[in-house]
Structure 1
Amino acid sequence: MLTVVSSVLIAVGTVVFCIAGLGLLRLPDVFTRISAIGTAAGIGVAFIVLGVALQDPTLANAIKAMVAILLQVTTSVIGATAIARAAVLRRQHFASGTDLDSVAHLGAVASRPEGQTPGRDR
């Protein structure tokens, strides 16, 4: 039974990464792509590490898995935030349809590419 649960967790983690990979191809701007990858890095790795830890359930493996998951979730959030901040500072454009009023506190950095109007897809 534990082997089945472990395999399912590993498969779910793999599916999360595959969906994030599709997000890299399909999402409209750098900010939504960062969101997809940051989320997948935290959740996908957590599922896979937990699944692998259940392959050999010992106290030592449980502690290692929890530390690995905690560090991965923490660093994926910090990494995604740092990349998004760098994108804002490099004046990357937001996708059309983005409510720029919600990012008005960013000042002149919040902009659209020339010729794009709100609500118009790429």
Structure 2
Amino acid sequence: MTPQTLVGDVFVGLGVLLIGIAAVGLLRLPDVYNRANAVAKAASLGLVSVLLGVVVLAPSGTAVVVLLVAAALQLFTVPIAGYAIGEAAWLSRAPLVPGTHRDRPDGGGGTGA
């Protein structure tokens, strides 16, 4: 096993582990806000880790460019999508877990729309 293969396998394994953690969080966390947060963070980092592992394992010029662009787009779009899901849940009055701390005493938030 070459060092390149080892590094690539570690990145892919770490990515698969993070995606698995996101799946467990999606099933086990108590409300939509916690679930959206877990999936947005763990799944996006997991996918980027898998893509970097593939870049290390198959370093052709075209593959490197395509996979790095895909990783960059993932890192830019997933946080925005996670925020949009949380905002939509808030505006639709999705219930919070009873012990959730609110920033405003009236429970308000969102965009005010």
Give the 3 Å change call, closer, same or farther, for CA 92–66 of structure 1 in structure 2: same
Matches of 2:55 and 2:16, distance apart in 1: 16
Q: 1:10 touches 1:51 (CA, 8 Å); kept in 2?
A: yes
**Matching residue of 2:50:** 48
SS in 1 for 2:23: helix
For the pair 1:37 / 2:39, whether they are aligned, the reply is yes
Q: Structure 2 length normalisation: TM-score?
A: 0.85
What code does the residue aligned with 2:42 have? A
Q: Which residue of 2 aligns with 1:2?
A: 4
How far is 1:17 from its partner? 0.7
Per the alignment, residue 70 of structure 1 pairs with 72
Q: Which runs of 5+ in 1 are unaligned?
A: 110-122
Higher RCO, 1 vs 2 (CA within 8 Å, ≥6 residues apart) = 2
Relative to 1, partners in 2 of residues 1:97 and 1:61: Cα closer, same or farther, differing over 3 Å?
same
Q: Which residue number corresponds to residue 113 of structure 1? A: none
1:107 is paired with a residue whose SS is coil
Q: What is the root-mean-square deviation of aligned Cα atoms in Å?
A: 1.9
Question: Match for residue 118 of structure 1?
Answer: none
Q: How many correspondences in the alignment?
A: 108
- Give the aligned partner of residue 114 of structure 1: none
In 2, the alpha carbon distance for the partners of 1:98 and 1:81 equals 18
Pick from 60, 69, 77 the counterpart of residue 58 of structure 1: 60
Q: 1:58 to 1:106 in 2, by over 3 A?
A: farther
Structure 1 residue 42: deviation in Å?
1.7
